[in-house]
Amino acid sequence: MKIKPLGKRIVVKPFKQEEKTEGGIYLPETASKDKPQRGEVIAVGPDFRGVKKGDTVIFAKYGGTEVEIDDEEYLILGKDDVLAIAE
């Protein structure tokens, strides 16, 4: 399924959290993990400026709306939820 955001919104595929710590310890699925705050822009709404498809963005920790499409997790973020573009 293809998704096209409306207005000042973008669709982001959040990066997965590391399942292993820097020290080499594997974290179980039940371990408390922080929500990811970076992801790849998949689609850009017509009124969202300054970001393009393929950019890596940093977004607010609890920003956006989580959606699942074809068994993949995505976030739909408004302009105020996007904090920066990672280069």
Question: Which domains are present in the chain?
Answer: 1-15+35-87 (2.30.33.40)
Find out whether 27 and 21 touch, Cβ atoms under 8 Å. yes
**Alpha-carbon distance 72 to 13, whole Å?**
8
One digit per residue, the tens of pLDDT, for the chain of length 87 reads 889 999 999 999 998 866 666 677 766 655 545 666 999 999 999 999 999 999 999 999 899 999 999 999 999 999 999 999 998
Find out whether 73 and 3 touch, Cβ atoms under 8 Å. no
For 81, the 3-state DSSP assignment is helix
Q: What is the pTM of this model?
A: 0.79
